[in-house]
Amino acid sequence: MKNKQLSKKIIAGKYKGKRLLLPSKTTTRSSKSIVLESFFNTLQFNIVGANFVEVFSGSGSIGLEALSRGAKKIYFMEKDSNALKTLKENIAQTDPNACEVFAGDSFSNIHTVVSKLKKSNEDAYFYIDPPFSIREDMEDIYEKTMQLIKELPELHVKLIIIEHMSGLDIPQKLGLYQVKKSKKFGNTTLTYLVSENME
């Protein structure tokens, strides 16, 4: 029984109850159900028909939850090969035609995703859940993430959500974006950023 793979269920929507596999805990960190519930309660029905970008996807549990709740198209980005394999297995249980996976470095792949949004003249929700900076070789992950946010073109951004360590202070302003609200869940915090022009 010790080798049984970890899993979690999709909470609501079309694929409610579908069991998603989780990669090894040493590879990725899964978002808590309480965080997911709070996030989707905030979005309510705005997610229906929207595009959704999960920047550090892991198992894809956030993006597939969005898909289950009516999002139109999900863009996944993941670098780790073990997590990538799990992500693809999870997508296969839902609607692969509505999902696009970008393997490799998220900081490079984000440009490709933005180009696709530009081409179709659409915007998206950007959910950014980087590995915690306390992990080995991840010391500058938050610095790079802040830079990524600053470079996102506001025309193609509906909302930016960062899932991060509660001890991290997100600047009130990042380029054209500003913090709308933050919600803490123990060691994890969700911070929402919107374009200044949307305020």
Output the pLDDT for position 53.
Answer: 98
Top CATH class, 7-198: alpha beta
Query: What's the CA gap between 115 and 63, in Å, rounded?
Result: 19
Q: How sure is the predictor about 157, in pLDDT bands with cuts at 50, 70 and 90?
A: very high
Cα-flanking dihedrals φ and ψ of residue 113, to 5°?
A: -65, -45
Q: How sure is the predictor about 32, in pLDDT bands with cuts at 50, 70 and 90?
A: confident
Cβ 10 vs Cβ 63: under 8 Å:
no
Query: What's the CA gap between 8 and 20, in Å, rounded?
Result: 5
- The pTM for the full model equals 0.92
Domain ranges of the chain: 7-198
